[in-house]
Amino acid sequence: MKLQTQRFIDRWVGQLLCGVVSAWVRFTGLFTGPAQPIQNPKNILVILLSEMGSIVLAGPMFAQLRRNYPGVHIHILQLKKNQEVSKLLQLTNPEYMHSLDDSSGGKLLRDILSISAKMRALGLDAVIDCELFSRVSALLSFSTGAPLRVGYTPHTQEGLYRGSFINQAIPYNPYQHISKQFLSLVDGLQSAGSTPRNKAAAIRELPTDTELSVNFSAEELQAYRSKLHSDHPVTTSRKLVLMYAGGGILPERAWPAAHYARVAQGLCAAGFAVGLIGLKDDAQLAKDLLVQIHSDACLDLTGYTRSIRELLMLFHASELLITNDGGPGHFATLTPIQTMVFFGPETGKLYGPLGSRNTVLESGIACSPCLSAYNHRLTFCDGDNQCLKRIAPDPVLDQALHFLQGTAPAL
């Protein structure tokens, strides 16, 4: 199903259904008491429908859940296309991973009904809705039958109505990194009292560790490195720098291709190999860049990795990743690779990769960032993303060379 279609349904049908459910909850609430914090839950469902990179940013939240409730069964509900990362990271047991197929409206509705029935039969103690202002996720949290529903509230924000049936409503804070926001949802499981219910939340610094890992044996990494050298002999004598120039589902997040070409030319001239990574959909962009770069040391690696696990092994075999905002920058934090990540339509202050091995590159112009939870990530720049176009390529090349040549502290 197209993204615009999903947004249309969520906005108009979603608001109507949220209103109906809210009225029902208000009526039945006349005969029941308020929701109570949980002490020893057996089953908690986490709804996380966002992009794959969000799964990495939610790592500290999952770790905190396990610390707070050592024996709990954590169920995860995701879009089917995003499940690969959760399975790779072993966020929970495979039988506790549930998915929604959003490839068509019929399949999505079928899965919503199936998952709702399954969760009601299971007897959830609580559900955590990690989506910001999505109505479908709010409705899902109610349909599961969980007595305690934790999620974000828009409070007085106009046009963001998602009902009043989230009974542990946490105010979304647009000034805090999303990883800290996810942690506040865990606090909401045990908090009680007046709204906002996370007034007594723990004082935390931004997590410096995702608390996630993928275990590779030394033999496995060496075998992959040998395969890379065999497939692309230039990497045997040159350190490899990876570039992800695609914008994914949001093309306005892409740094200009000509800028990437300029940096790649400089890196190849300095004695490094450059690998252009991406999905098969990025193959044409890679071909266009190869024509501009015109160097035998530049490789088309789009589609080269057949899984996220292979992508992580490629990161292990490389020195530096230069990337647009998106999944690769977050996956890189699970490996030793250094990253440089461009932000503009969104901001690294809220969505930047965790850890110390990354540099966020932003221009800081007045209209940036323009995508937010409040406008459902619809930008007004019409593709003319000046916030990224104004990040000049030569300073980026200089920073990359300083790191690669060890002539300055790590970025």
Angstrom distance (rounded) from CA 171 to CA 152? 6
Angstrom distance (rounded) from CA 52 to CA 50? 7
Average pLDDT over residues 295-318: 97
Lowest mean pLDDT among 24-38, 195-209, 374-388: 195-209
Strand, helix or coil at 281?
A: helix
pLDDT of 112 higher than 50: yes
Could you tell me the pLDDT band of residue 288, with boundaries at 50, 70 and 90? very high
Assess whether 116 and 256 both reside in one domain: no
pLDDT of 348 higher than 50: yes
Q: What does the pLDDT read at residue 351?
A: 96
Q: What does the pLDDT read at residue 278?
A: 95
Assess whether 277 and 144 both reside in one domain: no
> Is 73 among the domain residues?
yes
> Is 312 among the domain residues?
yes
Interaxial angle between packed helices 257-269 and 393-405, expressed in degrees from 0 to 180 and rounded to the nearest 10: 40
Angstrom distance (rounded) from CA 78 to CA 46? 9
Assess whether 152 and 265 both reside in one domain: no
The alpha carbon torsion through 370, 371, 375, 378 (nearest 10 deg) reads: 100
Query: The domain containing residue 358 runs over which residues?
Result: 218-405
Assess whether 182 and 275 both reside in one domain: no
pLDDT of 3 higher than 80: no
**How many percent of the chain have pLDDT more than 70?**
97
Angstrom distance (rounded) from CA 148 to CA 157? 24
Average pLDDT over residues 149-173: 89
> Is 133 among the domain residues?
yes
Q: What is the pLDDT of residues 95-105, one digit of tens each?
A: 999 999 999 98
Read off the tokens for 374. 């409040």
Q: How many domains, the chain? A: 2
> Is 179 among the domain residues?
yes
Assess whether 181 and 236 both reside in one domain: no
Angstrom distance (rounded) from CA 104 to CA 247? 23
Q: What does the pLDDT read at residue 90?
A: 94
Assess whether 324 and 376 both reside in one domain: yes
Read off the tokens for 379. 């930008």
Q: What is the pLDDT of residues 223-276, one digit of tens each?
A: 999 999 999 999 999 999 999 999 888 889 999 999 999 999 999 999 999 999
Read off the tokens for 194. 């007046």
**What would the DSSP string read from start to end of 302-355?**
TTT--SHHHHHHHHHT-SEEEEESSHHHHHGGGSS-EEEEE-SSS-HHHHPPSS
> Is 203 among the domain residues?
no
Q: What does the pLDDT read at residue 369?
A: 94
Q: Which residue has the tokens 């990769």?
A: 353
Residue-averaged pLDDT of the chain: 92
Assess whether 106 and 169 both reside in one domain: yes
Assess whether 249 and 383 both reside in one domain: yes
Average pLDDT over residues 321-328: 96
Q: What is the pTM of this model?
A: 0.93
Contacts of 208 (CB under 8 A, 6+ apart): 354, 355, 356
The alpha carbon torsion through 341, 255, 326, 3 (nearest 10 deg) reads: 160
Assess whether 152 and 272 both reside in one domain: no
Greater pLDDT, 409 or 183: 183
> Is 212 among the domain residues?
no
